[in-house]
Amino acid sequence: MTTGSTSTEAFDAVEVIAAKRDRHALTDPQIDWVVDAYTRGVVADEQMAALAMAILLNGMDRREISRWTAAMIASGERMDFSSLSWPTSDKHSTGGVGDKITLPLAPLVAACGVAVPQLSGRGLGHTGGTLDKLEAIPGWRAALTNDEMMAQLEDVGAVICAAGAGLAPADKKLYALRDVTGTVEAIPLIASSIMSKKIAEGTGSLVLDVKAGTGAFMKDLEQARELAETMVALGTDAGVRTVALLTDMSTPLGLTAGNACEVAESVEVLSGGGPADVVELTVALAREMLAAAGRDDKDPADVLASGAAMDVWKRMISAQGGDPDAPLPTAKETHVVTAPASGVLTRLDAMSVGVAAWRLGAGRSRPGEQVQVAAGVVMHAKPGDAVTAGQPLMTLHTDTPERFDRAVAALQGGYDIGEAFGGTTGVVLDRIG
């Protein structure tokens, strides 16, 4: 039996596919129907795959993307934080290597008077997942009910947890399909996937961290800019105050890539230390979140230095069953990668480090796979640092030493040592909003 052709349906899937194949804009009723019918199982996977490919090749205009996003939101529930005594703001990162920013950022923004309902995900491939990192903390749990989430937001001001199944179920189904049909890169579908969940989440304002560079989903700055502009427009059209920062992901963020090691680095930042690039981006995003929520009376740099964010971190972790003072897991085995020559480290490729951490067990190859919480890469130098031959450049951590060879192979060609470093523009490349 051919799906999508019953007399009770408003459209036929083939006519919607053909319209986009022939470069026509889809109408609002066509979009509403095809998203709903796919969620209900009336439109078959192979038909939606054909439509996704047509969208990848022929694009969508702003109205189409906005309507597609609204249809994805309508497939599930919407959360509402209007009963909180706090204003709310959220942050979404498009993912990178060493991107532990959510961990210090959520408690910092809460310490400044704005509640952060951070629904996060797990890592896949070379990009780490916030929930995987936090699960390195003994006892911490990612799954909260909506009531638990609301209570924690009112009491603590910050929550980082897994999104419930009720938010944009159409996206969950479509994302899995895009992953196996070569259509992940379609900017209209990336933007609507991210923004449908964030708008359904019900936050008052949203700050996007859109990464560009070798370790990012968008390697090219102009592609990243197009994605950022599309998502800012979607948020604006939905009545959510949205801004985006374009940030550099050619070099890993901070000095760690993994799970437990990134938690340890985040705690250093909350303690007033930590790598300069992590502090820079955390404070920059905090300023944007506070401004978007209309609460920019406090300087997050001062609040970070005061220790107030660390207090919120401990309460946030404890509220979700974790022990913020417990020692973090450490790997059973380590391997040191040394500098082959003396000079200045001129390049450290984010993708190479991300793949090495993944191969050590910090990431997963398919959804549901277990990760090693102590696996990862600790970097001892960043671009611009002087190094001497034989000096440790990186220490690799894993419980399974047979993984070292493939991790070392991932790092070959991933760094350069030269006579001088050409300088840097900082982590934040541009702002869109």
- The catalytic residues are 92, 171, 178, 193, 197
Edge-to-edge, what's the strand order for the sheet holding 428-432?
90-93, 205-212, 241-248, 428-432
Q: How many CB atoms lie within 10 A of CB 191?
A: 26
Dihedral sign (CA 159, 84, 203, 147): positive
Q: How many residues does the chain have?
A: 433
Pairing state between β 205-212 and 116-120: unpaired
User: Is 293:115 a contact under the CB 8 Å cutoff?
Assistant: no
Instruction: Please tell me the number of Cα atoms within 13 Å of 219 on its side-chain side.
Output: 5
Phi, psi of 14 (to 5 degrees): -65, -40
C-alpha to C-alpha distances, 392 to 45, 91, 157, 268, 303, nearest whole angstrom: 50, 35, 41, 21, 35
Three-state DSSP class for residue 94: coil
Helix axis angle, 13-21 relative to 45-58, nearest 10°?
Answer: 20
Q: Strand, helix or coil at 99? A: coil
How far apart CA 16 and CA 118 sit, in angstroms, is 36
Residues 6+ apart with CB under 8 A from 375: 258, 259, 331, 357, 360, 361, 362, 397, 398, 399, 403
Tokens of 403: 């993984």
| DSSP symbol at 338 | E
Helix, strand, coil % in the chain, rounded to nearest 5: 45, 15, 40
